[in-house]
Structure 1
Amino acid sequence: MDEHLRRTQTYGVEPVELFFDLVFVFAVSQLTHHLRDHLSARGVAETAVILLAVFTVWYYTSWEATLVRIEHTRTVAMMLTVLFVGLFMNAAITSAFAGSGWNFAVPFLLIQLGRGLWTLLNAPNEIWRDHYRRTVLWLLTSAPLWVVGAAVDPVHRLYWWAAAAALDLLGTWLGHPVPGRRLQTQSVGLAEGGHMLERCRLFLIIALGETILSTGVAIVAVPMTVMTVATGSAALVVTAALWMVAYGGPGRLVVRHVEDTRDPIHATRMAGNVLTVMVAGLIAAAAAFEMVITHPHGQPAAALSLLLFGGPMLFLLAQGWYLWAVPRISPRRWLVGSAALALAGAAAGALAPPYVALLGAAVTLAAVAPVLTRFASTGRPST
């Protein structure tokens, strides 16, 4: 295909794709509530495992709708089917480790295996058919782990599902290779990469929206006092700072790179992988916002500080890694910003009540975000 033609064959995000995303607004909210209600090492692990599973459903479905083209009726039908089944999967998130595991595992496996076979049958060329043969093979390999996890008691379910989620994650990161065969992204069309990047950017908006939703829900739950205004405002400052970093200079750098690179599919595949970590950071921050706004005068708590400062740290570190790995931008300033959050979090966790910790996080990010945005907007690596 002509190089210029390949570069100009792009298409925007369709309303059905945004409609499909709505069920994952619910999923992110469910994950936030689970983390808030199970603030322990096990609760964090449970939230991470379910996040990986849910994000895999969103990512694979969005990518496959991009590949087969959303304007086809069969693709719209596939997305709506996943939305329907996914609603019941996401409704089971908060009880996935407390009761029957089948309520989550059955819809999850129906989506993964059914959609994988659908894509294999509808793939546009032999390159993609070969890729989805391997994808389905990887999914069939992890499926027994999900089944066993659903069958065992809730105490041991985490270990089986963690192994299954790790296997699915490994397949996603590596592009589902088998010995001697793997996807060579340089050999396929270019339009898919730019569209999928936009889908990832929109999913990040969902997670940012959850931080605002959690802030609003917490404000409604308590009397409107000066403390409520202060903590609610601080939570919004943190959210706005992370939005600035994601969609300001760094975000523009990524968009320009995908437009210019000869392998945009690789760039957007890596963006999807990193997005999981960024969303995890936002879920942690959202849970912390609710806890601080509703109980601003509680005792200093290391667990709360870890959510409040560690969530934004995950966000910055993930973005810094991506900028280093793909467009080859030095992550030094992202590392410095993360270190500043770590230091502030260490002090707050040991000494400060929750409202002071939140104000500290807001001040730190309000200082860090403009520096990263100004740097990245120049388009030059740091020295």
Structure 2
Amino acid sequence: MDEQLRRTQTYGVDPVELFFDLVFVFAVSQLTYHLRDHLSGRGIAQTAVILLAVFTVWYYTSWEATLVRIERTRTVAMMVTVLFVGLFMNAAVTSAFTGSGWNFAVPFLLIQLGRGLWTLLNAPNAIWRDHYRRTILWLLTSSPLWVVGAAVDPVHRLYWWAAAAAHDLVGTWLGHPVPGRRLHSQSVGLAESGHMLERCRLFLIIALGETILSTGVAIAAVPMTVMTLATGLAALIVTAALWMIAYGGPGHLVVRHLEKTRDPIHATRMAGNVLTVMVAGLIAAAAAFEMAITHPHGHPSAALSLLLFGGPILFLLAQGWYLWAVPRINPRRWLVGSAALALAGTAAGALAPPYAALLVAAAASAAAATVITRFAPTPAEPARGDGHRH
């Protein structure tokens, strides 16, 4: 592959891309409210299914705008169209499993199939056109599951949509192969992979901002007392700790890997997959913050503890896995931090009222962030470009 294509160049994130992101941060808020109001195993599963669907729309659209270049008029038009349709899709998030499923499924399928066809017609070369033919085949295969799920009773909708979301997730992870044909990403030159990585980084910080917004809304909903100050501050400490972990660690080593690897697309695709899990962690934490701030003296709750500590654990494990799988950074500190949070959560869930559990989570998250970011990690081995990624 040409050296110029191997080296990842970036171009600036366009304002229309950030404008587009706001509609999907709205979806993060909707998912937080849904999880808070349906705190059960079924509610968690519903939240996960809709998150996968919504994030698939964000990631595919952002990736395809990167592929075709956002500064082109037709790409801006595509992105704005998805923005408008996506607003109605995201507005239906909280009622997707209680009311009409069509309000969510119809705009979702319109975006997925319409944007996929647009990308097929505008792909920059034959390799990408062939890839998007296969992508549309995968989308057409999962579409009946979304349709049936929208048509059945809300009680049974979860099963159909979970199967559809799992199908779409597998397709994304595997690069939408069909027998005898698949995308060998290390053989495709895409100089803008670094741009998509930056898109993921910016979306994460906007999602962190939504967590702060949820905390502020919870603080505004209750009288300003010493307890409100304590719980509100603790929630902000957890959020700040996650921000430190995301942006105060080995980010420069990821960029260095992206510049040297022969397969920058693989690094970028993995970033998108991991971002889904990190956003899930933020949704769980934000829902727990609202519950602890508005009902600080409630009974000890295993469910609340699961969200309060499980959210940061998901965040840490996802980032640690990416750093191990892509730039080969030893994830030991992320594993230790996750284990410490799990132990603290186990104790708090059994013994502590919500306000105390939140204070413990703040202390544990701050300690984990300090350990992870204090010393700059080094790669476990040189960045790989071994050519076997797809």
Q: How does 1:154-165 map to 2 (within 5 A)?
A: 154-165=154-165
* Residues 269-290 of structure 1: CA deviation (Å, up to 9, x unaligned): 0110111111000000000000
The range that moved more, 210-219 or 329-338, is 329-338
1:150 — aligned with what? 150
Aligned equivalents of 2:5, 2:154: Cα separation in 1: 53
The range that moved more, 38-47 or 253-262, is 253-262
Query: Which ranges in structure 1 are unaligned for 5 or more consecutive residues?
Result: none
1:21 — aligned with what? 21
Structure 1 segments of 4+ aligned residues over 6 angstroms from their partners? none
* Residues 196-225 of structure 1: CA deviation (Å, up to 9, x unaligned): 101111111122112101110001001111
Aligned equivalents of 2:321, 2:63: Cα separation in 1: 22
* Residues 213-254 of structure 1: CA deviation (Å, up to 9, x unaligned): 111000100111111111111111100110111111233322
2:123 — aligned with what? 123
TM-score (norm 1): 0.97
Aligned equivalents of 2:327, 2:254: Cα separation in 1: 7
Aligned equivalents of 2:138, 2:202: Cα separation in 1: 27
The range that moved more, 328-337 or 59-68, is 328-337
Q: How does 1:323-362 map to 2 (within 5 A)?
A: 323-362=323-362
Q: Which has the higher contact order (CA 8 A, sep 6+)?
A: 2
Query: Which ranges in structure 2 are unaligned for 5 or more consecutive residues?
Result: 382-390
1:209 — aligned with what? 209
1:76 — aligned with what? 76
2:293 — aligned with what? 293
Aligned equivalents of 1:136, 1:322: Cα separation in 2: 28
The Cα of 1:366 is off from its aligned counterpart by 0.8
SS of residue in 1 equivalent to 2:115: helix
Q: How does 1:72-111 map to 2 (within 5 A)?
A: 72-111=72-111
Aligned equivalents of 2:239, 2:9: Cα separation in 1: 34
1:37 — aligned with what? 37
TM-score (norm 2): 0.95
The Cα of 1:79 is off from its aligned counterpart by 0.2
1:248 — aligned with what? 248
Contact 1:9 1:191 in 2 (8 A): yes
The range that moved more, 163-172 or 191-200, is 191-200
Aligned equivalents of 1:216, 1:91: Cα separation in 2: 21
1:58 equivalenced with 2:58 (yes/no): yes
The Cα of 1:8 is off from its aligned counterpart by 6.1
The Cα of 1:189 is off from its aligned counterpart by 1.9
2:282 — aligned with what? 282
Aligned equivalents of 1:5, 1:167: Cα separation in 2: 32
The range that moved more, 178-187 or 77-86, is 178-187
Q: Which amino acid aligns with 2:368?
A: V
The Cα RMSD (Å) is 1.3
The range that moved more, 207-216 or 297-306, is 207-216
Aligned equivalents of 2:335, 2:42: Cα separation in 1: 28
Q: How many residues of Structure 1 are paired with residues of Structure 2 in the alignment? A: 381
The range that moved more, 173-182 or 40-49, is 173-182
Aligned equivalents of 1:61, 1:52: Cα separation in 2: 14
The range that moved more, 118-127 or 199-208, is 199-208
Aligned equivalents of 1:179, 1:191: Cα separation in 2: 28
SS of residue in 1 equivalent to 2:330: coil
The Cα of 1:327 is off from its aligned counterpart by 1.1
Q: How does 1:192-231 map to 2 (within 5 A)?
A: 192-231=192-231
The Cα of 1:9 is off from its aligned counterpart by 4.0
Aligned equivalents of 2:61, 2:333: Cα separation in 1: 34
Q: Which amino acid aligns with 1:334?
A: W
SS of residue in 2 equivalent to 1:196: helix
The Cα of 1:192 is off from its aligned counterpart by 2.3
2:11 — aligned with what? 11
* Residues 74-95 of structure 1: CA deviation (Å, up to 9, x unaligned): 0000000000000000000000
The range that moved more, 109-118 or 262-271, is 262-271
SS of residue in 1 equivalent to 2:7: helix
Higher helix fraction (1 or 2): 1
Aligned equivalents of 2:321, 2:5: Cα separation in 1: 32
Contact 2:245 2:373 in 1 (8 A): yes
